[in-house]
């Protein structure tokens, strides 16, 4: 019997109870494991025939660059997340992905995905669910950028990141190790690095969160959650939907 050895398998199993053949098919996603240095760009916006990856270890981020050189980070990826899944369904990738830390990731070929759809429908459903969950996070991020002021936006982002990490068993309720710089925060929050710095100071002095020295510490979770209007519903991993 196959065990749930990978973060992806355990994530998908939270949605669909996967059979032995499903897990075997899923295991094919994890051949071709590779290591990349921090800062390496795995997927290049605008280029054709890009691969996808499954992240096994470390942090990555997906982003787009604008004509004037500015960058908008779309999301950060943590172990168990796909990298560049969209880029194998489109001819050319609509975004870039780079390693934030040193990472380990397995290359997934288009044929792996397509075969799984043809021969393991439950796995296919699970992949659609994972893609939908990613989209839900992007949507929440979009609301964050469109309608929340900088301080609330930052608080919301840090709470979401903490919740996501907890779901894959990283960090504690009170905080987590965080390899991001204030420039990463600026690029994901649509702010200038200078303003991010001021907002972080404000949040720290108000006794809400401390973002410092590679760690995020939640100093007052109830007050912070209320301030941010944070509701983790859209991240929830219920009992399997398909038993």
Partner DNA sequence: CGCCTTATTGACGGACCTCAAGCTAAGTGG
Partner DNA sequence: CCACTTAGCTTGAGGTCCGTCAATAAGGCG
Q: Which residues bind its own copies (CB under 8 A)?
A: 46, 64, 66-67, 70-72, 74, 85-86, 89-92, 94-95, 114, 117-119, 121, 124-125, 127-129, 131-136, 138-143, 145-148, 189-190, 229, 233-234, 236, 238, 241-242
Q: Are 61 and 77 a contacting pair, CB within 8 Å?
A: yes
Q: Are 155 and 203 a contacting pair, CB within 8 Å?
A: yes
Site string for DNA, 181-220 (x = CB under 7 A): xxx------xxxxxx-xx-xx----------x--------
CB 33 to its own copies: min, Å: 24
Q: Are 153 and 189 a contacting pair, CB within 8 Å?
A: yes
Partner that binds at residue 197, options DNA, its own copies, none, CB closer than 5 to 8 Å by kind:
DNA
Partner that binds at residue 142, options its own copies, DNA, none, CB closer than 5 to 8 Å by kind:
its own copies
Q: Are 16 and 129 a contacting pair, CB within 8 Å?
A: yes
Gap between the Cα atoms of 138 and 92, Å rounded: 20
Could you tell me how many residues of this chain bind DNA (CB under 7 A)?
A: 17
Residues 6+ away with beta carbon under 8 Å from 88: 50, 51, 52, 108, 109, 110, 113
> CA-based diameter of the chain, in Å?
55
CB 187 to DNA: min, Å: 11
CB 200 to DNA: min, Å: 6
Q: Which of residues 99-158 bind DNA (CB under 7 A)?
A: 149-151
Q: Would you say 64 or 195 has its CB closer to DNA?
A: 195
Rg, the chain, Cα only:
18
């Amino acid at each position: 019997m196959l065990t749930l050895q990978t973060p992806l398998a355990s994530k998908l199993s939270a949605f669909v109870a996967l059979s032995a053949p499903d897990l075997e098919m899923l295991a094919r996603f994890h051949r071709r494991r590779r290591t990349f240095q921090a800062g390496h760009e795995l997927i290049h916006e605008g280029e054709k025939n890009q691969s996808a990856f499954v992240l096994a270890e470390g942090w990555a981020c997906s982003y787009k660059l604008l004509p004037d050189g500015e960058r908008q980070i779309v999301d950060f990826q943590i172990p168990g997340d796909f990298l560049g899944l969209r880029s194998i369904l489109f001819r050319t990738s609509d975004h870039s992905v780079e390693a934030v830390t040193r990472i380990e990731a397995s290359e997934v070929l288009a044929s792996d995905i397509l075969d799984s759809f043809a021969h393991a429908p439950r796995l296919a459903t699970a992949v659609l669910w994972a893609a939908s969950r990613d989209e839900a996070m992007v949507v929440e991020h979009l609301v964050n950028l469109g309608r929340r002021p900088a301080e609330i936006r930052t608080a919301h982002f840090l709470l979401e990141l903490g919740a996501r990490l907890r779901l894959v068993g990283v960090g504690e309720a009170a905080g987590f190790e965080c390899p991001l710089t204030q420039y990463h925060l600026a690029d994901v929050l649509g702010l200038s690095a200078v303003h991010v710095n001021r907002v972080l100071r404000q949040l720290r002095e108000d006794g809400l969160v401390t973002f410092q020295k590679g760690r995020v510490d939640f100093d007052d979770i109830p007050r912070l959650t209320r301030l941010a209007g944070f509701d983790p519903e859209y991240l929830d991993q219920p009992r399997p939907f398909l038993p």
